[in-house]
Amino acid sequence: MGKAIDIALFLHLLAVAIWVGGMVFASFCLRPALEDLSPQLRLPLVASVFGRFFNWVAGSVLVILGTGGFLLVKFGGGQASWPMHAMAGIGVVMMLIFGHIRFAVFPRIQRAVQAQKWPDGARAVGTMRQLVIINIVLGVVTVGMAVLGRGF
């Protein structure tokens, strides 16, 4: 493998680790730990934590798109194996779901916190939680497909 491909793969996997690892931490460690807090404490914290995390995800998405596109071209473009195309397809779906969370659901949480409308905020957090779980499942399937689909 050429050096450029090695470096692209390294950055690709680093970005995937940050995105998927962050979602696992948020869903399975942070969320249960915040469950007993009152909405007045929990929702501003959620808004602040995810405002920061989503910047990391946005950076990761750009890196995954750039390196993934580069790798796809290097691995034959249209002639690349079907698991690679499946990875790209599911990857794009994950990015669209992230875009929906970041630009539709998250602003609802921020507005609810500002207006101190706690039930509205809690509802939006519930939606965000479900969408993040879907992206975790898609992320795990994608990693599995990328690795187990080698050699096709």
Looking up tokens 């992206």 gives: 135
Contact between residue 75 and residue 138 where contact means Cβ atoms under 8 Å apart: no
Beta carbon nearer to ligand HEM, 82 or 103: 82
CB of 66 to ligand HEM, least distance (A): 9
The residues that touch ligand HEM, with contacts defined as CB under 6 A, are 9, 12-13, 16, 20, 64-65, 68-69, 71-72, 75, 84, 87-88, 91-92, 94, 139, 142-143, 146-147, 150
CB of 29 to ligand HEM, least distance (A): 19
What the block records as the tokens of 101 is 């969370």
Residue nearest to ligand HEM (CB): 68
84 closest CA partner among 134, 135, 150: 150
CB of 101 to ligand HEM, least distance (A): 15
Beta carbon nearer to ligand HEM, 125 or 135: 135
Beta carbon nearer to ligand HEM, 60 or 106: 60
CB of 37 to ligand HEM, least distance (A): 31
